[in-house]
Each structure stands twice: as structure tokens, then as C-alpha cells.
Amino acid sequence: MKAAVFYEHNAPLSVEDIQIDAPKRTEVLVKIAASGVCHSDLSVMNGSIPFPPPPAVLGHEGAGVVEEVGADVTAVKPGDHVILSWRPSCSRCGYCVTGRPQLCQTGNLELFQGYLPDGTSRLHKGDTEIRHFTGVSSFAEYAVVPDSGVVKIRSDVPFEAAALVGCGVMTGVGAAINTAKVEPGTSVVVIGCGGVGLNTVQGAVLAGAEKIIAVDLNTAKLELATQFGATHRVNPQDGDPVDQVLSLTDGLGADYAFEVIGRSDTAVQAYNSIRPGGTAVVVGVAKPDDMLTIPTVSLLQEKTLKGSIYGSARPSVDMPRLLDLYVQGKLKLDELVSRRIGLEDINAAFDWMERGEVARSVIMY
Ligand code: CND
Ligand code: ZN
């Protein structure tokens, strides 16, 4: 099959033929139909997100059709349309049974090593083993994934829309609705309005926020954020972004702020943008050595600073719901797709992302 292989940091991916093995008993072979290109993939390529030595096949925002299932798989069958989840979970541990599968630790170590939960890979080129990424690896025509990493979906939605739900939409909308539990009538700040942040904006809209302040250095992204429901725009190039937010929120700050870039300075901006009793949520993935500093005493204002992984997703519940909202016209997915490309154009997609030209590029297989 064709795959875009990550061989070296800070170098283009190589589109070439590799081999994929059959699924084991609890695994599923998926024919990928569409894959979004997320900033986290780029962060692995440039070393900002640590990953074991390549080669590996990246891509973690995919959807497709089940081609083959292992002997013990009951959740899906060949022909089912699925979204790939990059947080497979065990459904038995304390986190899973209390509704927080995004924190399930089962198989975590193996996934971080670039393997499937059983600690091995199904990808290789001749004798050379190729690592998986988050148990998804959607920058390839096929993927073998754990059965808890597929979510069966309705078959009447376009694959590119479904693929985006697999990371950016779930992460962004979920941060507002699941993690922060934004309440109707409140004020929300979203710092960074790319493929994920735009979804935090529309998550805040769905939750009924009254004031949604979009913060981005890129005026085109601020324009898009307005289309997604932001009521106010702040460009840090026009002056200190926190001061601008405070002047839009009675001098006190917003009820909620989200950092959706992956930097400590903007995470501190998010924290400083909330009012006493407010909640700041870090969604962006910062480098491991990027530390943030806040005045300890400011926490006595009952401010909350927390993180959000995968929008605190309960994939099998939340992803079909998001697609239902899309079908009802309440969730914008088509508008997120800036460019549809072939796998051979994948390196251009990272250039467009770095230049801020796209919300999302989607690879169509
Ligand atoms: P993308 O590159 O599309 O968007 C980033 C946006 O931030 C762009 O619009 C930039 O213009 C803007 N920006 C950059 N620097 C600044 C700044 N200093 N001030 C204001 N705006 C700025 O990235 P994405 O939306 O695909 O991803 C965003 C982050 O989310 C990234 O760190 C990614 O790794 C992370 C993420 C997290 C999770 C999770 O589970 N928490 C899942 N997927 C991705
Ligand atoms: Zn992502």
C-alpha cells in the first residue's frame, strides 16, 4: 500500500509502497478514505512532540471503511463506516467505568512507543519495521487498529467530515463542552484559531456562550473564527492580548479561556484572561521542557487551570453525536476543509499549515 513515511526529523515525509500485515484477533483493518493533517503530526516531525526513532507512519485524524476484522472483534464488521480514535481504551479500568476513557492507561506505553497495544507493529517495508502513531497511522491507504480505536458511524456523511471529527473537531468542541462544561450566557476566549481552535469556538456556540472572543495573529483565522461564531476578535499585533480581552469583559476577564496553540506564554495569557472563579484550559501541546509560571496567590481567586486531552472524549458516544449535529446543520465541518489533496501532496499541506493558509487540509484516498 501507499504510505507517507516519516524517516527523519525536519525532513519531508516519503510517499512510497510499504507492507501491512493482517489484523490480529482484536484488531481491525480499515481502508482509509480521508485523513486530516493536524499540527500534532507536524510537531512530531519537527521534534516538538517526543516520539521514538522513526521510521513511522503518522496521521491520527482518519475515517474509512472496515475491510477485515480479527476473530474476536464484535463491535464492527466489514463495510461499516468508522472514525479512528487515537485514544483506544480498555472499557474496564477505573477511568473507563467512570466515563473518562480519555485517561485510560491500558496500552498507553505501547502506543507511545509507536506500537499497537500488544506491543508490536503491523507495518514494515521488507525487513524494516515501521512504527504506528497513536494506534492510527492514517497517512496510508490502510490501517490496522485496535478494536477500541474504531467508532462505528452513520454511512451518509462524507468521509472528510468524519475524519476531522477524529481529532480536531472532537478535541476542540470537546474542550468547551466536555472539559470546561461551558455554561449558557458566559464569556469565552479562544487563543489560537486553527483547525482545533475553530472547533473550540463552535463548541462554545453550541454550549450557548454569550461572548466568544477569538485571539489569533493571523487576520484570515480571525475572519474564519467569526464565521464559526466568534463575537469579538483580538489580534496580539494590536496590543497586549490580555489587556484587549479585559477591556472586552468589564475589566474582570472571561469565564473561560482556551489555549489552542501549544505554548507556555499563550497558556499564561489564557490564565490571565479569566476572571476570579474562571477556568483556563490548555489544549495545545507544548514542548516537554516549556514551563509556565503563574503567581501562586492568584489561585486563591478560585481560578482553575487545567488541561484537556482529546476534548475529554467518550468516542463511541460523542463522535456519532457530533455527526448528527453536522447533519442537522448545527456543526460546521465542510467549512473546516480548506483543501482536499492526494497523499503525494502531504508535504505541501505542512507548509500551508506553517504559513497559516489553511484551517485543515484533508487527504482523500
Ligand atoms: P494550527 O496550526 O492549525 O493552528 C494554530 C493557530 O495558532 C494558527 O491559527 C496560528 O495563527 C495561531 N497562533 C500561533 N501563534 C500564536 C500566538 N502567539 N498568538 C495567537 N495565535 C497564534 O494548529 P491546530 O489547530 O491543528 O493545533 C493546535 C494545537 O492543538 C497544537 O499544539 C496541536 O498539537 C494541539 C492538539 C491537541 C490535542 C489534545 O488532545 N489536547 C489534539 N490535537 C491537537
Ligand atoms: Zn490532532
* Confidence check: pLDDT of 143 > 90: yes
Residue identifier of the C-alpha nearest atom 27 of ligand 1: 39
3 state DSSP class of 196: coil
0.75 cut: is pTM over it?
yes
Q: Which of 37, 38, 167, 361 to mutate to test the pocket of ligand 1 (most atoms within 8 A of CB)?
A: 38
* Confidence check: pLDDT of 167 > 90: yes
337-341 and 360-364 beta bridge pairing: parallel
Q: Is 310 in the pocket of ligand 1 (CB under 6 A)?
A: yes
Of ligand 1's listed atoms, the one at least distance from the Cα of 310 is: 40
| Each residue's pLDDT tens digit, 7-60 | 999 999 999 999 999 999 999 999 999 999 999 999 999 999 999 999 999 999
Q: Which of 84, 261, 264 to mutate to test the pocket of ligand 1 (most atoms within 8 A of CB)?
A: 261
Please classify residue 334 by burial: count the beta carbons closer than 10 Å to its beta carbon, then call 0-12 exposed, 13-18 middle and 19+ buried.
exposed
Q: Is 44 in the pocket of ligand 1 (CB under 6 A)?
A: no
Instruction: Copy the grid coordinates of residue 152.
Output: 462505528
Q: Is 172 in the pocket of ligand 1 (CB under 6 A)?
A: no
What the chain holds in terms of domains, given with CATH numbers, is 2-166+312-364 (3.90.180.10), 181-307 (3.40.50.720)
Distance 20 CA to ligand 1 centre (A): 32
- The sign one gets for the Cα dihedral 154, 39, 221, 230 is positive
| Each residue's pLDDT tens digit, 61-90 | 999 999 999 999 999 999 999 999 999 999
Q: What 8-state DSSP symbol labels residue 21?
A: P
Distance 276 CA to ligand 2 centre (A): 31
Instruction: Report DSSP letters for 300-351, one per residue.
Output: GGT-EEEE-SGGG--HHHHHHHHHHHHHTTSS--GGGEEEEE-GGGHHHHHH
